[in-house]
Structure 1
Amino acid sequence: MATVTEEMVETYRRDGVVLVKGLWADWVEMLRAGVARNMASPTQEMPTLKPGEAGRFFDDYCNWTRIPEFAAVIRQSAAVEVAAALMGSERVQLFHDHVLVKEPATTKPTPWHTDGPYYFVEGRQVVSFWSPLDPVKQASLRCVAGSHRWPKDVLQTRWMAETNFYPGEHDYIPVPDPEAEGMDIREWEMEPGDAVAFHFRTLHGTRGNHAATRRRAFSLRLVGEDARYVERPGPTSPPFPGHGMMPGERLREDWFPVLRGGV
């Protein structure tokens, strides 16, 4: 079972990213079964490759209500307690799950981006877990340490169309090139069930999968006490149409269950 040390908490709050060894080590086979079920019957699969680009990148989210393996891992694993410790929040609420599978020879990298501006929730107490279900050496998540504390969010783009997601470029920082700019990039060789915990505002991306084996990953997004609904100047991802929430409200609990500290 994964444990959280004071050093890990300090690292997460300072750098916006930390490795959690073995978070789902006891749940790998269940998550693999859930991913197989998801891939056999996707609901919101997003296009990620242009015609002619090599490989296949499966990308689907918000399936925990219909995939029992995901629901069990969310509610029964140590993830909620680990999230509470890292966020410094007694309250932990589910935002959504996310499956990302890069098949062999899917050489296109996932572009550098931050998730926060695509979401309709803001707060300091937020965390994503990204966990490979296969050993990874070069297709691991890459995060820029400290980027969650940048004064502005990174400009959102549509990866397929390569256009801006929202208007108002002056409100955002242009997407940087972390390698060219010598930024502090954190990445790890990981075993199945290890997890990278990162803040919604942390800049991240992945390399292409040049290996001869697939790279399955399960991601879980959770929010804490100070997280609130915000309106964006355009559609959000995930969209959750018809949610009916107002700015400043907590996420509605019938759609986004409170997993810990429900008072």
Structure 2
Amino acid sequence: MTQLAPDMIDAFARDGAVVLRGLFAGHVEALRSALADNMAAPGPHAAENTLMGEAGRFFDDYVNWHRFPAMEAAARDPAIAGAAAALMQSDRVQLFHDHVLVKEPGTSRATPWHQDGPYYFVGGSQTVSFWVPLDPVGDATLRLVAGSHLWDRPVLPTRWVSQQAFFPGDYRPVPDPDAEGMPVLEWDMAPGDAVAFSFDTLHGARGNTTSARRRAFSLRFVGDDARVVARPGPTSPPFPGHGMQSGDRLREDWFPTVWSRQ
């Protein structure tokens, strides 16, 4: 298991987010190339998140690690997967999926506040996402509400552009953390730094009003207690035909174990 300072593990447990400097530094150039290839050949889940007439371009895509070796190499890096194990306090780490998010210069569209967990068909307390900028970020960095992973009710999952509910349920309305005075964490980051956060941590990001691109790569991992959960509609990612039932562990052939204490 990657050795992390105790205060980092404590911060992750308390706040639901912590920054790990340089964790992906050795993968930046390869991931930049993979993102370019991904944008040139988008997968079936790719989306453009700007409305007609809005400035800039906000592209995202996910579940492409099997198409681009650099993404899989990052997920299988023992230092990265080991850091996931340490933060989750888990004996094993499975790759859930990857996510690419690119905001071109002058993009006004923000990433709306959301928790990842309610969109997924997996639940558990041992989860972690790494959000990794491939360009220096300041104002367009990831923003997270400290302690939101411990809220007693999940936040309503919505579609990013229309803001319509993803599916019905007993959800907390999407808050406005700035207006409501919630404790927001954000860091200036260099390429290869990583914000680690729980699937249940509320997060978002401003638009990119700078003259430089903001390319980000994300990896999502699950640990020992992750299990399939039923949702009232198709999840995101949907993973059609996965064949698992509520309460099952994630199948290894689709969601490989990338680190194990054994």
TM-score between both structures, scaled by the size of structure 1: 0.96
Counterpart residue number, 2:244 = 245
Q: Is the 8 A contact 1:94 1:223 kept in 2?
A: yes
SS at 1:157 equivalent: coil
Counterpart residue number, 2:50 = 49
Deviation at 1:72, TM superposition (A): 1.3
Deviation at 1:76, TM superposition (A): 2.4
Deviation at 1:47, TM superposition (A): 2.9
In 2, the alpha carbon distance for the partners of 1:13 and 1:19 equals: 13
In 1, the alpha carbon distance for the partners of 2:74 and 2:255 equals: 16
Counterpart residue number, 1:30 = 30
Deviations 1:2-50 (A, max 9, x none): 8511100000011100001101111111111111111111102123111
Q: Is the 8 A contact 2:23 2:193 kept in 1?
A: yes
In 2, the alpha carbon distance for the partners of 1:37 and 1:165 equals: 29
Q: Which amino acid aligns with 1:28?
A: V
What is the identity percentage for the equivalent residue pairs of Structure 1 and Structure 2? 62
Deviation at 1:108, TM superposition (A): 1.3
Consecutive unaligned residues in structure 2, runs of 5 or more:
none
Counterpart residue number, 1:191 = 190
Q: Is the 8 A contact 2:48 2:57 kept in 1?
A: no
Q: Which amino acid aligns with 1:157?
A: T
Q: Is the 8 A contact 2:141 2:206 kept in 1?
A: yes
Q: Is the 8 A contact 2:133 2:217 kept in 1?
A: yes
SS at 2:96 equivalent: strand
SS at 2:149 equivalent: helix
In 1, the alpha carbon distance for the partners of 2:261 and 2:50 equals: 40
Q: Which amino acid aligns with 2:33?
A: A
Counterpart residue number, 1:110 = 111
Q: Is the 8 A contact 2:148 2:201 kept in 1?
A: yes
Q: Is the deviation greater in 48-57 or in 10-19? A: 48-57
Q: Is the 8 A contact 1:24 1:77 kept in 2?
A: no
Consecutive unaligned residues in structure 1, runs of 5 or more:
none
Q: Is the deviation greater in 8-17 or in 75-84? A: 75-84
In 2, the alpha carbon distance for the partners of 1:89 and 1:184 equals: 28
Counterpart residue number, 1:20 = 20
Q: Pairwise mapping of residues 98-177 of structure 1 onto structure 2 (< 5 A)? A: 98-168=99-169, 171-177=170-176
SS at 2:129 equivalent: strand
SS at 1:220 equivalent: strand
Greater than 6 Å deviation, 4+ residue runs = none
RMSD: 1.2
Counterpart residue number, 2:93 = 92
Deviation at 1:77, TM superposition (A): 5.1
Deviation at 1:262, TM superposition (A): 7.9
Counterpart residue number, 2:202 = 203
Deviation at 1:53, TM superposition (A): 1.2
Change (3 A) 1:37 1:216: same
In 2, the alpha carbon distance for the partners of 1:65 and 1:156 equals: 27
Q: Is the 8 A contact 1:17 1:202 kept in 2?
A: yes
Counterpart residue number, 1:179 = 178
SS at 1:164 equivalent: coil
In 1, the alpha carbon distance for the partners of 2:210 and 2:119 equals: 30
Q: Which amino acid aligns with 2:196?
A: A
Deviations 1:154-206 (A, max 9, x none): 011112222111113xx111111101111110000000000000000100000
Q: Which amino acid aligns with 1:217?
A: A
Deviations 1:122-168 (A, max 9, x none): 00000000000000011000000000000000011112222111113
Deviation at 1:69, TM superposition (A): 1.0
Q: Is the 8 A contact 1:125 1:225 kept in 2?
A: yes
Counterpart residue number, 1:214 = 213
Counterpart residue number, 1:71 = 72
Q: Is the 8 A contact 2:3 2:86 kept in 1?
A: no
